[in-house]
Amino acid sequence: MDIKEYVTDIAKRAKAASRTLATLSTDVKNTALLKMADRLEEQAAAIIEANKKDMADGEAKGLSKAMLDRLMLDEKRVKGMADTLREVAGLPDPVGEVIRMWKRPNGLQIGKVRVPIGVVGIIYESRPNVTADAASLCLKTGNAVILRGGSEAIHSNTAIAKALKEAGAEAGIPADAVAVMEITDRAAVMEMLKLDKFVDLVIPRGGEALIKAVAENSTVPVVKHDKGLCHTYVDEDADPMMALKICYNAKVQRPGVCNAMETLLVHKKAADGWLPAIGKKFKEAGVEIRGCERTLKILPYAVAASAEDWDTEYLDLIISVKVVDSLQEAIDHIAEHGSSHSEAIITENYSHAQRFLQEVDAAAVYVNASTRFTDGGQFGLGAEVGISTSKLHARGPMGLEDLTTTKYIIYGSGQVRK
């Protein structure tokens, strides 16, 4: 079978399954999720065995230690996946919710109801737990899912999906509701992106190049899970101790993730007094500082930032630092260089806080808190499918609701249009 046929066949069958899924009751879906959780634990040995193949291949291919760590599965991580499934079973089911219902003067009763989207394609890399997480979120919302993990995790992903499918079948879930693309060629992804007749939404999670390729080639709507080039602006009226604590947290607590700070903007009036203090903390934590000219004068151990630094997501213990003349300059810098993910101001000035909240265009805008909070769990939304950096359909941490669309249902009694 050629790749096009292979992918089209998966997508067609997923579409057919999605029609059944849309009609399943919450009870059936939850029972399936709980069975799936048990089955993952029961088949832990087989899953770990499959994962060993991926690990061996990965080592042979020379994957980095960080990549191998993300790929690795053990008893604890399999249990972690099972627990996520149980957690998703416990969340409220958004499908069928009547968001609003109203009556028109002619007696038509019009309701806006949440319904599944249909077929969701998820493109991701390395972590095999995404297979279980994404499948559970899609099942809970009545969507069929096509999972396209990376080639480096194919044995693990296939073993996980096998356990999910077996348990799902026992609970009445159509076999094609969860599909794993076993051909992991880039060409197979490109085929899926053209199947807008069958696939309703694609969520790419991964490197910039992958996301760019998806956005440029897809006729299926895309919600991106893109990079986070997050700024923190320390205002002239910032509480210096609070600013230290927040900036340190935003950069150092977990530098490899999208909601970590990459660029620090400091008002010129705060620079002389405050920069040496944060510089010292960063230095102690091993953070490399790349500063603008004014920063270099205050922090002699910093290196000079190049023009590209302001557009770079380091995902590492590196930070770019710029001294600005005003709140306006900070807002302008963010508009030019930010990725509209998470942006923060540290200030005690009421008007500055309100202006920042209003004028900065990003998925999450903070006053006096660390950008690291941009996360479905931290926001209290329950499990998350990803963090949308798109503006349309969903923005910021995507919860179950964001895996639904709506339809209008209209109860009439013979009305005709005049």
Which residues of this protein are in contact with a copy of itself, per CB under 8 A? Answer: 19, 22-23, 102, 104, 108, 110, 115, 117-118, 196, 200-201, 215-216, 219, 221-223, 239, 242, 245-246, 248-250, 253-254, 335, 357-359, 361-370, 372-374, 378-380, 390-393, 395-396, 405-417
Query: Is the backbone of residue 315 left (phi > 0), alpha (psi -120 to 50) or beta?
Result: left
Q: Shortest gap between Cβ of 113 and a copy of itself (angstroms)?
A: 8
- Which residue shows structure tokens 């909070």? 373
Query: Is the backbone of residue 47 left (phi > 0), alpha (psi -120 to 50) or beta?
Result: alpha
- Pick between residue 125 and residue 226 the one whose CB is nearest to a copy of itself: 226
- Which residue shows structure tokens 């634990």? 41
Q: Shortest gap between Cβ of 210 and a copy of itself (angstroms)?
A: 15
- Pick between residue 134 and residue 222 the one whose CB is nearest to a copy of itself: 222
- Which residue shows structure tokens 């806080």? 353
Q: Shortest gap between Cβ of 63 and a copy of itself (angstroms)?
A: 28
- Pick between residue 153 and residue 274 the one whose CB is nearest to a copy of itself: 274
Q: Shortest gap between Cβ of 40 and a copy of itself (angstroms)?
A: 28
Q: What is the DSSP string of 63-91?
A: --HHHHHHH---HHHHHHHHHHHHHHHHS
- Which residue shows structure tokens 């499934």? 85
CB 91 within 8 A of CB 50: no
- Pick between residue 253 and residue 306 the one whose CB is nearest to a copy of itself: 253
Helix axes 44-61, 154-170, angle to 10 degrees: 160
Q: Shortest gap between Cβ of 98 and a copy of itself (angstroms)?
A: 11
Q: Shortest gap between Cβ of 194 and a copy of itself (angstroms)?
A: 9
CB 222 within 8 A of CB 242: no
Q: Shortest gap between Cβ of 297 and a copy of itself (angstroms)?
A: 29
- Pick between residue 65 and residue 100 the one whose CB is nearest to a copy of itself: 100
- Pick between residue 152 and residue 226 the one whose CB is nearest to a copy of itself: 226
- Pick between residue 70 and residue 393 the one whose CB is nearest to a copy of itself: 393
- Which residue shows structure tokens 């002699």? 300
Query: Is the backbone of residue 130 left (phi > 0), alpha (psi -120 to 50) or beta?
Result: alpha
Q: Which residues contact 30 (CB under 8 A, 6 or more apart)?
A: 89, 93, 140
Q: What is the DSSP string of 255-298?
A: TTSTTSEEEEEEEHHHHHHHHHHHHHHHHHTT-EEEE-HHHHHH
